[in-house]
Structure 1
Amino acid sequence: MKHQLFLLDLDDTLLDFRASERLAFTRTLGGLGVTRVPDALFTDYQAINLDLWRRFEQGLVAKDVLKVARFRLTFERHGLDLDAERASLLYLDGLADSVVLIEGALQTCAELAAIGEVGIITNGIEAIQHRRIHSAGLAGHVAFVATSEACGHAKPDVRFFEFAAAKARAFDKASTVIVGDRLDADILGANRFGIDSCWFNPHGLANETEARPTCEIDRLAQLLPALRESRG
């Protein structure tokens, strides 16, 4: 097989982040004494959180600011007198254990590890992502984890991919592929770094961006066949 190094995104590629996020958010609010979490509150949190992460990826906001600001802004919007810093601590602790696997994630990682080396690349928080990987049962198949927090740069910055490549036992651009759900971070990053990419697109979204994946799948079970077909 052409590919020997598989760089896999974590959230919404291997782990269902939306499901995990909802569980962790509900538990966080419960820890602050809020027994019923309105849908509008969670929806606003998601929008605020997404905006802050996009700004982080552009280098416009620090991660330590992001962790607390997403709760502070959400609480302010809904007129809630709650401690944003405590919410941040509760959420991060809860997120590490609120893992939901994407269908086929465990089997896919095992199959790829039998072929070559598997690395996880994520813009998430170092300690939390390691805990989530262990909680999900993926750690035994993963050779290394590269996070934006440890690197100091986030996907799609080429420096992040250089950081990830340096963690591999052996790195060759021609035999490396990135698998991820985000065109703007995973696929565009692969394009800029000069390596193959597979777009995990379970919702059948249209690609209206400059990012150009080598192949595209809507289920993880399709990954190996797609990579074999794209061997060039």
Structure 2
Amino acid sequence: MKHRLFLFDLDDTLLDFRASERLSFARTLQALGARGTHEDLDALFVRYQAINTALWRSFEQGTVSKEFLKVERFRQAFAAHGLDLDAQAASSLYLEALADTVVLVDGAVQLCETLSAIGEVGIITNGVDTIQNRRIAASNLGAHVSFVATSEACGFAKPDSRFFDYTVKLARAFRQHETIIVGDRLDADILGANRFGIDSCWFNPGGLANTSEALPTFEVATLHDVVPALRKLADAGSPA
């Protein structure tokens, strides 16, 4: 295997963020005493997700701050559904719940354990620094992870090359041709790898079509496919 530095996105790559998000959102509404039918609350969650995604895109483009995002997503969602709930309180409750609600993607621990025996594993995330570190600690991934690079600590977000400049300085050793990013986001993980000149693996369990400008070195449908794909890539590059 030619790679020695393995950079993993966290949410929806190693951790099932969608499952954690739904549970944390439900706990937040319960704590706030929100009233409504199951259908009403489901519709509120769907609206929240859409607003949250749009705000994260704005954050990654540098047009809003993370502090603004954390509260604004709730303010907009509550306003859209005519709910008189405290967005600031919702933000605090949600982040606290999210830190304690960890759902692993199948094969995540085994993959990190395998690759940490070959080289160095780092996590790269645009998430909130303290929350992400707590989630990693609760996930059993920590024993196999050498470092965690967050956009909050760096000051720049994926796919900005300055985020990757910051990331590789945390590694024990960085060689461009021996580094690979594994992530689910074409616009953040894979595009970031393209701009930084390193290999990338697109984790694509949904079998989505790539209609973006980002070009992964290869793609996998499950985390169990990553190591075989890395070995195949190494064999293909070996001299005859």
TM (norm. structure 2) is: 0.95
Q: In the alignment, is the contact (CA less than 8 A) between 1:7 and 1:178 conserved in 2?
A: yes
What is the Cα deviation at residue 35 of structure 1? 5.5
> Aligned partners of 2:104 and 2:147: how far apart in 1?
19
What is the Cα deviation at residue 160 of structure 1? 0.4
CA RMSD of aligned residues (A): 0.8
- Matched letter for residue 3 of structure 1: H
In structure 1, the residue matched to 2:103 is 100
Kindly indicate whether residue 11 of structure 2 is the aligned counterpart of residue 28 of structure 1: no
Deviations 1:158-205 (A, max 9, x none): 000111100000010010000000110000100000000000000000
In the alignment, structure 1 segments of 5+ residues that lack a partner are: none
1:83 to 83, 86, 97: 86
2:221 to 199, 204, 218: 218
Q: In the alignment, is the contact (CA less than 8 A) between 1:153 and 1:160 conserved in 2?
A: yes
Q: In the alignment, is the contact (CA less than 8 A) between 1:214 and 1:230 conserved in 2?
A: no
> Aligned partners of 1:226 and 1:188: how far apart in 2?
20
In structure 1, the residue matched to 2:157 is 154
Post-superposition, which runs of at least 4 consecutive aligned residues in structure 1 deviate over 4 A?
Answer: none
> Aligned partners of 1:101 and 1:24: how far apart in 2?
15
Kindly indicate whether residue 192 of structure 2 is the aligned counterpart of residue 189 of structure 1: yes
What is the Cα deviation at residue 103 of structure 1? 0.5
> Aligned partners of 1:13 and 1:127: how far apart in 2?
19
Aligned length: 232
What SS is found at the alignment partner of 1:188?
Answer: helix
Could you tell me the percent identity over the aligned residues? 67
In the alignment, structure 2 segments of 5+ residues that lack a partner are: none
> Aligned partners of 2:153 and 2:8: how far apart in 1?
17
2:124 to 121, 129, 144: 121
What SS is found at the alignment partner of 1:115?
Answer: coil
